[in-house]
Amino acid sequence: MQHNIFASMRSLKIMDGCKGTQVYAINPSSATGGGIGEKLLQQLHDHIKSHTLRTKSVRNLQPPNMTTPSEVFVSDGSLLPYGLPMTDLLEPKIEPSLVSVDFVETLAGVYRRTEDRHQFDRSEVYLEQCAVFQGLADPKLFRRSLRAARQHAINVHAKVVLSAWLRYERREDELIGSSLMDCSGRNLECPRTTLVPGYDPELVFDSCACTGARAGNGDNDNDDAMAIVVDEQCSTSEEEEEDGDMSFCVGDDEIKCNRFNIASLSRPFKIMLYGGFIESTREKINFSRNCFSVEALRAAEVFSRRKRLSHLEPKVILELLSLANRFCCEEMKNACDAHLASLVCDIDDALLLVEYGLEETAYLLVAACLQVFLRELPGSMQSLSVVKIFCSPEGRDRLALAGHASFVLYYFLSQIAMEEEMRSNTTVMLLERLVECAKDGWEKQVAFHLLGVVMLERKEYKDAQYWFQAAVDAGHAYSLVGVARAKYKRGHTYSAYKLMNSLISDHKPVGWMYQERSLYCVGKEKLMDLMSATELDPTLSFPYKFRAVSFLEENKIGPAIAEINKIIGFKVSPDCLELRAWFLIAMEDYEGALRDVRAILTLDPNYMMFYGHMHGDQLVELLQPFVQQWSQADCWIQLYDRWSSVDDIGSLAVVHQMLAKDPGKSLLCFRQSLLLLRLNCPKSAMRSLRLARNHSTSDHERLVYEGWILYDTGYREEALAKAEESISIRRSFEAYFLKAYALADSNLDSESSKYVICLLEEALRCPLDGLRKGQALNNLGSVYVDCDKLDLAADCYMNALNIKHTRAHQGLARVYHLKNLRKAAYDEMTKLIEKARSNASAYEKRSEYCDRDMAKSDLSMASQLDPLRTYPYRYRAAVLMDDHKEAEAIEELSRAIDFKPDLQLLHLRAAFYDSMGDFVSAVRDCEAALCLDPNHNEILDLCNKAREHIREPK
């Protein structure tokens, strides 16, 4: 039984900001100075004048050479209160994470260190892996490494921090009804398991201690009550039967003790009672001046006989802990420590007991209190007591004495603080503590670099330069970007230019190097650097933004929008969408602008427009009167049309509008999450899933959304269990679909495929709308193809197309191809290209159904539309290898690997190196790939084979 010292405090919720993007056709209309656009812009101006939203003064921005009223831009500056975007105000952000000059070598090195370490010593290497993956777009890699770090953690402190971090990654606090100390059956996050030291290799497979406790909770309570009664009876009877040979006296009270038993508690007691001190000859020892109560001494006497604690009030155990500390009674201290740790179940308990724990250096008690604080983040940082413990140097010293000041603790805390408010004093103090805890190597690199990033944000440029330089000295070359930026801000532009010039000369050039150098030059040289940056890394958004705004400054609105559309087409981000919305407002395409603003707010509900001076919701309100208003029924029609045309950003905007009218609609939140996953915005998708779960009106629906959350965070088996539980309550399309989807994620044998087919067929028998029916038919067709049931697959795809599920063209093309009808397959993909707004994948797939020259053309278009797609690079490299152009094949793969270290690309390049006899390079690529997926058997075999060749005598 746990003793609740205080009532629980509700944890505060947070919203995590995420990124997104979109592509859209614009509808330019000629405008004059007195048109509807002028009225809207005047309203924007009036709105901003009446709301003191400015956080800093902004220059009155005027686009150059805009004097005639017939231009698409309004020339009157008062109608554009913040002006139009200007190239002078654009800057790329410095990544707040480890960025490597040679990322493949970094991945390979981390993998080698993981393999070289003993099982018991891998947690720190997996944490380094987390830091390496943090800058990547795929959060699953980061979470997988975090789970591995937790699984291999040995000491309680590391377990507490890493378990809380895993829980935070899922934003568990945002789920209505979630309990602070609940782990939902996940052993890696179980608050009881974390307080047990040692390494357990089966940790990820066993059910946690909470599961059994919950199963028999009532019986356990009775057992505990009985144990207390027996304990008290035994204690009473023993006390009556015990004949002491000495006594401790506190005032008029006398506590009978056995001298030998007390002496056995610690060496100080033994010396006092059997040594040369006067107490060794006395039967009564006065303990009044030691400030311990009768109850505490009586408890110590009982412990001396029984070696375990009786049922005592927490205040008595706290006093007993102090006594144990004073007289070095380690066994008694450990018992008190463990018992008090078991009492901590909410933040009020933790706030009260942590001071006792720190004062008495009680390791487990402090760990239990830390666990509560960390699982309540960021809400717990609202407490001044918690801030003092974590942020102050004195607090860190006290934590260190108790064994709880570590790099992993402050790394976790600083990451959350930077998400909440990067420029705050709390963030700075936590990063200072992180620096104090950092060891040489990657820990110092990341600590110094993060502190530099924060100081730059705070405009403390001298300090920023100092910390960035410290990171460089520790071995982090990317921090030279921070040094250069700080120098530039301090007016030393030429020095910044020389620094980046030397970086490019000393290393293999990477896109971000040219991007940074472009800030410190002008004219054609700047544009050439930006072009080089895009060629080396087409995923960098700054070059597109700069070129787009440059076109805008030249009154070339069409090219400006076309330029920003290039990156929005494959990488969704709020800043790029904002830029396009800004352009569209200027040319009075309010429908397009409103669409983009709604998409931005879906990606980041707290996004501030116009240099951070106006909330996106306020801009939506101002734009709405100038566009056609839709009813909820109209919205469903619009959503269906956009979904059918593979217009994901348009669909996102429609769903946002529908949720504004019906915010509690869980189905809409779920659709939003599906769209966000298509746009590769996993964090935003997870937030929408949590909203869907919280707005669920029934248990079976809630279980489905919880299942999707588990599946998307890597808990496949738990997701299946949620689906089955939902089906047991009520048969529904979503429950069957979830179960089928999760099962189909593994390699299916014939029997498993049949079962998945049955599940999808059951799903289609349940009530559902056309959008989900089309998706289910498409998935069913895919499983039929895998089972070689081509006619049934074709029927599924045709039925999906009949309800305008446009993506089914791709499945039908695959069926035609397998039937040796290549022309029909090609034509089917052509239909998809014509219908879909986002069609890079369609060009890629169509390339499989035509001759080599046409395939090259399609793949070139696919790479142009979406350079993140890896198949075109692999195809072109394979063709080059077939033509015995090995160097060109390697170069083709390397070009993509430099900005996207993809598993398949690395595997293929390793195979090419192996075939060319370059076994060292083959091993390096294999090791980098295994860092991304350590269980890939083919790559493991290739790596071992290449290592054997290296070991062979020459």
Model confidence at 239: pLDDT above 50: no
Arithmetic mean of pLDDT, 236-247: 60
| Domain assignment present for 891 | yes
CA distance 178 to 496: 50
Q: Which of 332, 366, 388 is the last residue of a domain?
A: 332
pLDDT at position 210: 67
Q: Which domain holds residue 899?
A: 867-953
Neighbouring-strand partners of residue 248: 255, 285
Cβ atoms of 437 and 192 within 8 Å: the answer is no
Q: How far apart are CA 831 and CA 913, in angstroms?
A: 39
Interval 520-525 mean pLDDT: 94
Per-residue pLDDT, 206 = 55
With the C-alpha atoms ordered 575, 580, 583, 584, is the resulting torsion angle positive or negative?
negative
Structure-token pair, residue 18: 């995420």
Instruction: Give the Cα separation of 30 and 72 in Å (integer).
Output: 6
Q: How far is CA 219 from CA 1, 185, 214, 345, in A?
A: 11, 20, 10, 20
- Strand-pair partners of 286: 249
Domain assignment of residue 941, yes or no: yes
Return the bridge partners of 608, or none.
615
Give dist(CA 282, CA 952) in Å, integer: 79
Q: Report pLDDT for 286.
A: 85
Phi–psi pair at 97, nearest 5 degrees = -160, 170
Q: What does 655-674 look like in DSSP terms, one character per residue?
A: HHHHHHH-TT-HHHHHHHHH
Cα 517 to Cα 501: distance, rounded to the nearest angstrom: 7
C-alpha of 532 from chain center: 31
Domain contains 122:
no
Q: How far is CA 121 from the centre of its chain?
A: 25
Task: Indicate the number of domains in the chain.
Answer: 2
Provide the residue type at 332 as one letter. M
User: In this structure, which amino acid lies at residue 2?
Assistant: Q
Torsion region of 311: left, alpha or beta (phi above 0 gives left; psi -120 to 50 gives alpha): beta
What does the mean pLDDT of the chain come to? 86
What does each C-alpha distance from 50 to 44, 46, 789 come to in angstroms? 10, 6, 66
The β-bridge partners of 284 are 247
Amino acid at site 706: E
Whole-angstrom Cα distance, residue 264 to residue 261? Answer: 5
Q: Which of 659, 662, 699, 695 is nearest to 675 (CA)?
A: 659
Which distant-in-sequence residues (6+ apart) come within 8 Å of 50 by Cβ?
Answer: none
Q: Of 332, 359, 386, at which residue does a domain stop?
A: 332
Q: What is the pLDDT of residue 203?
A: 65
Q: How many CA atoms lie within 13 A of 872 on its CB side?
A: 26
Task: Work out the pLDDT band at 173, boundaries 50, 70, 90.
Answer: low
Give Cα separations from 416 to 131, 378, 421, 422, 425 (angstroms). Answer: 14, 7, 9, 9, 14
What average pLDDT does range 538-560 have in this prediction?
96
Which of 307, 332, 357 delimits the end of a domain? 332
Q: Does pLDDT of 558 surpass 80?
A: yes
pLDDT tens across 608-660, in order? 988 888 899 989 998 998 899 999 999 999 999 999 999 999 999 999 999 99
- Cα(708)–Cα(718) distance, integer angstroms: 10
Domain holding 290: CATH number? Answer: 3.30.710.10
What does the chain come to in residues? 954
Taking a C-beta distance cutoff of 8 angstroms, is the pair 476, 505 a contact? no
Is 262 part of a structural domain of the chain?
yes
Radius of gyration of the chain (CA): 32
Is position 875 within any domain? yes
Please report the pLDDT score of residue 243 as a whole number: 64
Q: Domain of 933: which CATH number?
A: 1.25.40.10
d(CA 621, CA 602): 15
Strands (E), 603-660: 608-609, 614-615
DSSP letter string, 240-278: HH---SEEEEETTEEEEE-HHHHHTT-HHHHHHHHSSSG
Give 479-514 pLDDT, tens digit per residue: 999 999 999 999 999 999 999 999 999 999 999 999
Number of other CB atoms surrounding residue 411 within 10 Å:
23
Q: What percent of the chain has pLDDT over 90?
A: 70
* DSSP annotation string for 778-819: HHHHHHHHHTT-HHHHHHHHHHHHHTT-TTHHHHHHHHHHHT
Q: Is residue 812 part of a domain?
A: no
**Side chain identity at 505, as an amino acid letter?**
S
- Give the Cα separation of 221 and 228 in Å (integer): 11
Residues linked to residue 253 through DSSP beta bridges, in sequence order = 250
- Could you tell me the CA-to-CA distances from 194 to 150, 380, 864 in Å, in that order? 9, 20, 49
828, exposed or middle or buried, with CB in 10 Å at 0-12, 13-18, 19+?
buried
Determine contact, residues 756/790, Cβ cutoff 8 Å. no
Q: CB 565: neighbour CB atoms within 10 A?
A: 19
Task: Give residue 208's pLDDT band: very low, low, confident or very high (50, 70, 90).
Answer: low
Closest to 785 in 3D by CA, of 755, 815, 808, 747: 815
Cα dist. 127→15, 111, 149, 207 in Å? 25, 12, 6, 24
Residue 337: name the closest of 351, 323, 352, 357 by CA. 357
- 140 secondary structure, DSSP code: H
Which positions ≥6 away from 918 have C-beta within 8 Å?
none
Peptide bond between residue 378 and the one before it cis (omega within 30 degrees of 0): yes
Closest CA to 80 of 763, 583, 788, 628: 583
For residue 272, give the amino acid letter.
M
Q: Say whether pLDDT at 277 is over 70.
A: yes
At 397-415, the pLDDT tens digits run: 999 999 999 999 999 999 9
**Residue 111 in tokens:** 């993998």
Are 181 and 358 within 8 A, CB to CB? Answer: no
Half-sphere exposure of residue 412, counting CA atoms within 13 Å on the CB side?
28
Burial of 268 (0-12, 13-18, 19+ CB in 10 A): middle
DSSP state of 288: G
- The pLDDT tens digits of the residues spanning 347-398 come to 999 999 999 999 999 999 999 999 999 999 999 999 999 999 999 999 999 9
- pLDDT computed for residue 714 by the predictor: 82
- Residue 80 pLDDT: 53
What would the pLDDT profile of 35-91 be if each residue is shown by its tens digit? Answer: 444 444 444 444 434 443 333 333 333 333 333 333 334 333 333 567 789 999 999
Cα–Cα nearest to 708, from 742, 732, 684: 742
> pTM for this structure?
0.86
Would 938 be classed as within a structural domain?
Answer: yes
| H-run or E-run covering 861 | helix 852-865
Whole-Å CA distances, 723 to 707, 756, 759, 762: 6, 13, 11, 13
Q: Is the pLDDT of residue 846 over 50?
A: yes
- The structure tokens 């089309």 sit at 774
C-alpha span between 951 and 860 (Å, rounded): 41
How many H helices and E strands in the chain?
Answer: 49, 5
Distance CA 533, CA 898 (A): 12
Residue 442 has pLDDT above 70, yes or no: yes
HSE, side-chain direction, 13 A CA sphere, residue 852: 7
Structure tokens at 772: 């989900």
Place of tokens 């709604």: 598
Q: What's the pLDDT at 715?
A: 84
Report the distance separating Cα 472 and Cα 210, nearest Å: 46
The 10s digit of each residue's pLDDT in 564-582 is 999 999 999 999 999 999 9
Distance CA 915, CA 937 (A): 19
Q: What is the mean pLDDT of residues 90-114?
A: 95
pLDDT digits (tens, 9 = 90+) for 876-912: 999 999 999 999 999 999 999 999 999 999 999 999 9
Q: What pLDDT, on a 0 to 100 scale, did the predictor assign at position 205?
A: 55
Distance of CA 112 to the CA centre of its chain: 25
Give a yes or no: residue 519 inside a domain: no
